[in-house]
Amino acid sequence: MQSTWIHQTVLLNEAITALAINPDGHYVDGTFGRGGHARLILQQLSARGRLTAFDKDPMAVAAAQELAAQDSRFSIRHQSFCRLGELEPASADGVLLDLGVSSPQIDDPERGFSFRHDGPLDMRMDSTRGQSVAQWLQTADVATLTEVIREYGEERFAQSVAKAIDRRRQERGPIRSTLELAEVVAGAVKTREPGKDPATRTFQAFRIFINAELEELQQALAASLQVLRPRGQLVVISFHSLEDRRVKQFMVGHSRVQVDRRVPFVEPAPLALRRLRRVMPALAEVQRNPRARSAVLRAAERTEAPAC
């Protein structure tokens, strides 16, 4: 059954083009997934080139280990990309971060990411550590639930959903499966955009929260400035506005001169990034893979001078 969980890499060629591969260079793939980007990078590297990948998902790591056994230029770390800073400073010619959830994670009911298939309410990217969503829901109070659903799901019915979850817990006990949660949310969300499931925003919120996705993204972006060599490329693919907003703010913030108005005579800090680019999927890719429709690729180049 697992062989039917196919992952179509989004913006594959666009990402590799943005990395501007140096055949002898060292590249970092922050989310190996099922290796779509990694394999294409390796095709463009010489015998002297290297690729280091990170992934939290044990299944992705297992797939990466098979590749590492076949190709000595490639290595995998069972870690979040927020650990980028552990790599040697100024050692990478490019860093690629492909955010979000892979198709095998969504399509496997046992992972608990999907509201379309019944499965244990888990949602952890790394199923070997941390709390599942089901465990967290047993103790989270209404105020916390409301805040998480509103902040990470941008759900206007956040308080109604939180109260419905609390009422369901009191009446029937813990929520343990994905369809149980989806049913509770559907009863609390009275209207939704055409074609969008009522549970979409709540599931997104719980997934982002339980995996600390936005916090880890901020750490990885900051670490990328330490790891990239001058003229190295930072390429990030995001799939929803919460991610893309942070990526854009980071890149723009490090590519503009910042003058302290309190001491305007002080020389401004040198820029860390330049040459910002934004790429969207072509219509043909969206038609072939609907999950690409919300993708945004942003790329920037590390400057020659190190940031202060």
Q: Are 199 and 114 in contact (CB under 8 A)?
A: no
Query: Which residues, 6+ apart, have CB-to-CB distance to 88 below 8 Å?
Result: 227
Q: How far apart are CA 24 and CA 189, in angstroms?
A: 53
Q: Are 193 and 161 in contact (CB under 8 A)?
A: no
- Rg over CA atoms, the chain: 21
> In what helix (H) or strand (E) does residue 225 lie, and over which residues does it extend?
helix 213-227
Distances from the Cα of 241 to the Cα of 152, 156, 257, angstroms: 10, 15, 25
Q: How many CB atoms lie within 10 A of CB 253?
A: 11
Provide the mean pLDDT of the chain.
91
pLDDT digits over 208-252, tens only? Answer: 999 999 999 999 999 999 999 999 999 999 999 999 999 999 999
pLDDT digits over 155-169, tens only? Answer: 999 999 999 999 999
pTM of the model: 0.90
Give the pLDDT score at 3: 42
All domains in the chain, ordered by first residue: 2-103+213-302 (3.40.50.150), 127-210 (1.10.150.170)
Query: Which residues, 6+ apart, have CB-to-CB distance to 301 below 8 Å?
Result: 231, 232, 233, 234, 273, 274, 275
pLDDT digits over 22-36, tens only? Answer: 999 999 999 999 899
C-alpha torsion 26→29→33→35, nearest 10: -30
pLDDT at 270 over 90: no
Give the pLDDT score at 195: 75
Give the pLDDT score at 4: 47
pLDDT tier for residue 1 given thresholds of 50, 70 and 90: very low
Q: How many CB atoms lie within 10 A of CB 219?
A: 17
Q: Which DSSP string do the residues of 61-100 spell out, in sequence order?
A: HHHHHHHHHH-TTEEEESS-GGGGGGSPTT-EEEEEEE-S
Task: List the single range of 1-10, 69-78, 135-144 with lowest mean pLDDT.
Answer: 1-10
pLDDT at 44 over 80: yes
Backbone dihedral angles phi then psi of residue 301, each to the nearest 5 degrees: -110, 140
Q: How far apart are CA 175 and CA 133, in angstroms?
A: 9
pLDDT digits over 169-192, tens only? Answer: 999 999 999 999 999 999 999 877
